[in-house]
Amino acid sequence: MATEKVLALTGIDRNYGQGDTLLTILKGADFSLSAGETVALVAPSGTGKSTLLHVAGLLEHPDAGEVVVGGEACSALSEDRRTAVRRRSIGFVYQFHHLLPEFSALENIMMPQLIAGLSMAEAKERAAQLLDYMRIGHRADHRPAELSGGEQQRVAIARAVANAPLVLLADEPTGNLDPETASYVFSALRALVRQSGLAALIATHNHELAQRMDRCVTIVDGKIVDYVV
């Protein structure tokens, strides 16, 4: 496995005001992710999983600490620069696929590539390759409503990696799927990580899937620690 650190969080604090109370979610949290590595984030609801993913994905600013993505320190960057780093280097997959209903599977995957400046022909070719890799190339012209839950989530994964990001952040990506479909979707995701050298941090309640990743972490008292499933 490659050892290049593509994501590093150092001394991360994240607090939220709740009335007159300051709620501490992350406190001095440290974490790093290497290229080609899959890490499971396993923690009960309310402990800060989504907050950690949002901070790592540059969707939220930490109150203290540094987030480094692809070697670039991001905490003090302008919003425009943070957005540019996020678009270039980070892909997101959520529990709900959030596909655009009026577009086909192929068009959904083309969209982020077109926004990034690729030509129509280039975007279409890569989208078709990703659909084939996820074994749903035959569903390219179908809209989300015509796809099964597992197919929709595979399209969402393909869309997330369409611009070849360094890091994939996934929040319960198989949470709405039956166990057999969840296992299949996860296998496709893991194969994609291995093939591309992508690094993936995947929040999940599914201990069986967590055991199939390279390592597991959890959040305890605002810190990120190793976890044995």
pLDDT tens-digit map of 181-206: 888 888 888 888 888 888 999 998 88
- pLDDT mean over 168-179: 84
5-226 maps to which CATH number?
3.40.50.300
Domain boundaries, the chain: 5-226
DSSP 19: T
**Lookup: tokens for 190:** 């893991």
Q: What are phi and psi of 28, to 5 degrees?
A: 65, 35
pLDDT tens-digit map of 14-64: 999 877 888 899 999 999 999 989 999 998 777 888 899 999 999 999 999
State the chain's mean pLDDT as an integer: 89
User: What's the whole-model pTM score?
Assistant: 0.88
Q: What are phi and psi of 121, to 5 degrees?
A: -65, -45
What is the predicted pLDDT for the residue at 94? 81
Give every CB contact of residue 21 below 8 A, 6+ residues apart in sequence.
Answer: none
* b/e per residue 30-46 (b: at least 16 CB within 10 A): ebebbbbbbbbbbbeee
Residue 182 CA to residue 204 CA, distance in Å, equals 11
Q: Outline where 57-206 has alpha helix (H).
A: 79-89, 105-115, 120-133, 149-160, 179-196
Residue 12 pLDDT more than 90? yes
- pLDDT mean over 163-171: 92
Residue 184 CA to residue 182 CA, distance in Å, equals 5
What is the predicted pLDDT for the residue at 3? 66
What is the predicted pLDDT for the residue at 122? 94
What is the predicted pLDDT for the residue at 168? 93
Residue 1 pLDDT more than 50? no
The rounded percent of the chain whose pLDDT value lies above 90 is 58
